[in-house]
A and B are shown apart, each in its own frame.
Chain A
């Protein structure tokens, strides 16, 4: 599985946009990029998944450049409740049977 690197922590303020970049230089052709969110004392929760270009849902946007060696999770207008740890995962779901390997994650703190 491709190794991922993301910042350990980020601070932001309510109403701002938060962008978290994940590096995955060794991403393979069949690899997808998935982001999960984890609140304290809860299990991780799926946010978004993509393969290339841009994906958007009601929660976030995921930007993937053409070379796919990195990806950026964008959280628009964050609130205090968005304080959580955000994990970037890269994996070949078909070959590896949906093997979800979590890295260290990025701890996002939203301040009032």
Chain B
């Protein structure tokens, strides 16, 4: 398996624009996680899914952020409208079960100018 695949790797956008980050989890993994990493706040769990259903979205910063998982092989994290403070590296991770290790993607570096 190629691992968790995220796209794009880098995204530069202007404030106010919509941004969509994409993630393909490892096949057969039932859990999918979205994280944000910044120097100031470290790694923050934004939301996670189990069998395509959002379980905990308490980490989503505000209504501008939304995440979907339409099927077992694809998830999106959308920011609309984007703001400069959203600039960060966004990671997607997946795990086979609730007890197993999580595998992380390479991340998407988002810059909002």
Contacts and interface: CB of A to CB of B under 8 A. Distances in A.
A94 B98 contact: yes
A97 B33 contact: no
A43 B98 contact: no
Contacts, number: 59
Contacts of B98: 93-94, 97-98
B42 A104 contact: yes
A41 B4 CA distance: 15
A13 interface: no
A101 B46 CA distance: 10
Given A43-B93, A43-B105, A44-B104, A98 B45 contact: no
Contacts of B103: 46
Contacts of B100: 98
B94 to A, nearest CB: 11
Contacts of B45: 99-102
Contacts of B55: 97
A87 B4 CA distance: 20
A43 B106 contact: yes
Contacts of A32: 99
Given A100-B45, A101-B45, A42 B102 contact: no
A7 to B, nearest CB: 15
Interface in A72-112: 87, 93-94, 97-105
Contacts of B93: 43-44, 100
B44 to A, nearest CB: 8
Given A97-B56, A98-B31, A98-B95, A105 B42 contact: yes
B75 interface: no
Given A42-B106, A42-B107, A97-B55, A102 B99 contact: no
In the A-B complex, the 6 residue pairs with the closest CB atoms: A43-B104, A46-B101, A102-B43, A98-B98, A93-B99, A43-B91
Interface of B: 4, 31, 33, 35, 42-45, 48, 50, 55-56, 91, 93, 95, 97-107
5 contacts: A43-B4, A93-B98, A99-B48, A100-B102, A103-B42
